[in-house]
Amino acid sequence: KRTLGLAVAQLGPVQLNDTRESVVARLVAMMREAKSRGAEFLVFPELALTTFFPRYWMAEDEARRRFFELSMPSPVTEPIFRASLELHLGFYLGYAELTSDGRPFNTSIIVNRNAEIVGKYRKIHLPGHSDHMPAAPFQHLEKKYFSVGDLGFRVFDTDGVRMGMCICNDRRWPETYRVMALQSAEIVVLGYNTPSVNIHWNEPTHLRTTTHLISLQANAYQNGIWVAAAAKCGSEDGHHMIGSSAIVAPTGEIVARSLSEEDEVISVKADLSIGEYFREHVFNFAKHRRPEHYRLITER
């Protein structure tokens, strides 16, 4: 049986004044806990090193200076890579990336058990707005601070497992997973920051969690893949975000879910053969898909 020790490191709030060093120490502590539970791969959240800064209106230059990484690893993030090597533990990490030619992306990487970066992804579905909304309780300025990702949805051989990744809002779009499943992904990992309040319409708070979980579950099942999702959650400077980090099997069932809104590790031994059954039978893409009838999806 092919299995993977799969864990999610949910991160409680990161306040505006927290240092990167203090956040990195929290991440490393969760790496040690995940390893002690048999994890081989650990998923961290989106923008894991800082507060979820797109909620604040500021000049682009200021955002870049305060919240973006110019290199990965860097002296500040090096302890995460050192722990990966020491513990023989792969990981996914989300952070704000400023490229050497000055392009800003909401980025994630997959790192293997030898602390080598084997994959990079830049967020494609950027939610929110780019204009100032003074009447809203907070902003969601991903369209202001980030460019649309330019790397597509790729799949990376990570210590013998075909792993894809996406970031937060991407998890709500079926195309995200399907494009990776068509490249034989076995697992999709992702991090998220989901505000508990919808600034666009008056949505009941519980729906924020329902739509999060239903997106993971439906797409895990319909693609025969494992999905592991890590929240940054709780109240960041008074702005609350949902928790409910989860690991979902290819059956669509939630097999692990966080209880708290703080730093919390959840883990499973993921049986990769479960996905193989689905992909051989009901979701045998080569046998049963009818792409000639799906053209509209890429035309509009």
CB of 269 to ligand CDT, least distance (A): 28
Asked if residue 248 lies in contact with residue 227, where contact means CB atoms within 8 angstroms, the answer is yes
Which amino acids are annotated catalytic? 46, 123, 168
CB of 108 to ligand CDT, least distance (A): 12
CB of 106 to ligand CDT, least distance (A): 8
Nearest 5°: CA angle at 248, between 27 and 206?
85
Name the residue nearer to ligand CDT (CB basis): 76 or 213. 213
Asked if residue 139 lies in contact with residue 147, where contact means CB atoms within 8 angstroms, the answer is no
CA distance 120 to 166: 10
Dihedral of the alpha carbons of 58, 60, 62, 63, in degrees to the nearest 10: 80
Q: Which two tokens stand for residue 83?
A: 């722990």
Name the residue nearer to ligand CDT (CB basis): 81 or 138. 138
Name the residue nearer to ligand CDT (CB basis): 216 or 272. 216
Catalog residues that contact ligand CDT under the rule CB under 6 A. Answer: 46, 127-128, 140, 168-169, 172, 192-194
Burial 80-93 (b: 16+ CB within 10 A, else e): bbebbeebebbbbb
Name the residue nearer to ligand CDT (CB basis): 90 or 191. 191
CB of 268 to ligand CDT, least distance (A): 23
What is the number of alpha carbons within 13 Å of residue 162 lying toward its C-beta?
A: 16
Which distant-in-sequence residues (6+ apart) come within 8 Å of 39 by Cβ?
Answer: 5, 6, 7, 89, 265, 267
